[in-house]
């Protein structure tokens, strides 16, 4: 019998979709789910919990990353694959890059999400604008004091790089 890796990928994606369905049906948040897999084993699960946790960062990918990192006792997911029911939003994309998994598979597209009123395109447009033209003002303040911690970090000999 031959090993079919695509069947495994499809099964993990089904798990992510089921996480989305369960979270949606239990009124935890929107229809988004994710699983993190390492060495053929699910090490993290997450679904959107924005409304139930009153946390705008509790997206499926973020909750799955947090779960996987806690279960693996690490802050990076090298050697892992993330399966998510939808193409990641800008925040989740950033979290994924910080977590450093090997690969990401996604189900729905960001266009599919926009069609059900989860449209993150405005964030992508905002990122391209200069700070002074963004909808939310970003105002520099206190750099002279804040830069001291960066200098301390640069000089810290026992820091853990990530």
61 is catalytic: yes
Annotated catalytic residue: which of 61, 87, 144, 145?
61
Task: Quote the CA–CA distance of 83 and 71 in Å, as a whole number.
Answer: 17
Task: Quote the CA–CA distance of 36 and 72 in Å, as a whole number.
Answer: 11
Task: Quote the CA–CA distance of 93 and 61 in Å, as a whole number.
Answer: 9
Task: Quote the CA–CA distance of 100 and 28 in Å, as a whole number.
Answer: 27
Active site residues: 61
């Amino acid at each position: 019998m031959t090993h079919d890796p695509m069947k495994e990928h499809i099964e993990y994606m089904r798990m992510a979709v089921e996480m989305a369905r369960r979270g949606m049906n239990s009124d935890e948040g929107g229809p988004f789910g994710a699983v993190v897999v390492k060495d053929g084993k699910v090490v993290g699960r997450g679904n959107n919990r924005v409304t139930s946790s009153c946390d705008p960062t509790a997206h499926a990918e973020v909750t799955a990353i947090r779960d996987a990192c806690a279960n693996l006792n690490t802050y990076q997911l090298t050697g892992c694959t993330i399966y998510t029911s939808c193409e990641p939003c800008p925040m989740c994309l950033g979290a994924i890059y910080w977590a450093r998994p090997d690969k990401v598979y996604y189900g729905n597209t960001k266009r599919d999400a926009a069609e059900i009123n989860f449209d993150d395109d405005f964030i992508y447009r905002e990122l391209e604008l200069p700070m002074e033209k963004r909808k939310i003002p970003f105002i520099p303040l206190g750099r002279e004091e804040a830069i001291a911690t960066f200098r301390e970090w640069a000089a810290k000999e026992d820091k853990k790089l990530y």
